[in-house]
């Protein structure tokens, strides 16, 4: 083998190594984007290449625009649920004002067996397991909750009544009211 042939082989070998050692080029960044099929008025998810991953009509509505770790969707006869990328239901999402609970202070309310807890708005992970009868959204690091609460109807709306409200921090730990007023 002459010197020119060795040089050509070495160039191809270096090119091959450099192309294969960096791994494949990922175009889709691993997230899905919601879309609405205007013909069927069905909601679904597409990947970054435009391929349909979750067909329209499978869910009544997709509330999460960019589906990374989890998405909130409306299921037929099930209300609002959070699903993972394999479409497993993670938990129910607390309904508020004709939609799923909105994140407040980085958390949103979730339900399990008629008890309220909280999940992280970025990751979807449960932060405080459902354990409260009533729970207001977090504000400035605290939420007002009760385990002895009644729901009263006022026209088309309902209100919570309790004589035993208390505050929790973002770990679910009970906080004394004096600490809240001093912060």
Structure-token match 């909601």, residue found: 43
pTM, two decimal places: 0.78
The per-residue pLDDT for range 45-96, each reduced to its tens digit, is 999 999 999 999 899 999 999 999 999 999 888 799 999 999 999 999 999 9
Q: Which residues contact 32 (CB under 8 A, 6 or more apart)?
A: 45, 46, 47, 53, 54, 66, 67, 71
Q: Give the chain's radius of gyration (CA, Å).
A: 25
Distance CA 76, CA 41 (A): 15
What domains can be seen in the chain, in order of their start residue?
A: 28-93 (no CATH), 98-183 (2.40.10)
Q: What is the rounded average pLDDT of the residues 12-40?
A: 58
pLDDT at 10 over 90: no
């Amino acid at each position: 083998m002459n010197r020119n042939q060795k040089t050509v082989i070495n160039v191809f070998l270096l090119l091959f190594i450099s192309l294969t050692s960096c791994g494949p080029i990922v175009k889709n960044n691993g997230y899905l984007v919601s879309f609405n099929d205007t013909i069927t008025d069905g909601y679904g998810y597409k990947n970054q290449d435009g391929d349909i991953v979750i067909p329209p009509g499978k869910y009544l509505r997709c509330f999460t625009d960019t589906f990374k770790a989890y998405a909130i969707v409306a299921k037929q006869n099930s209300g609002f649920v959070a699903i993972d990328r394999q479409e497993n239901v993670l938990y129910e999402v607390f309904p508020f004002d004709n939609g799923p609970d909105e994140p407040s202070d980085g958390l949103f309310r979730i339900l399990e067996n008629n008890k309220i807890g909280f999940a992280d708005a970025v990751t979807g992970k449960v932060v405080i397991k459902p354990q409260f009868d009533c729970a207001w959204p977090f504000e400035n690091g605290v939420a007002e909750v009760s385990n002895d609460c009644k729901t009263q109807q006022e026209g088309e709306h309902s209100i919570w009544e309790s004589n035993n409200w208390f505050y929790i921090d973002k770990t679910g730990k009970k906080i004394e009211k004096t600490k809240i007023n001093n912060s």
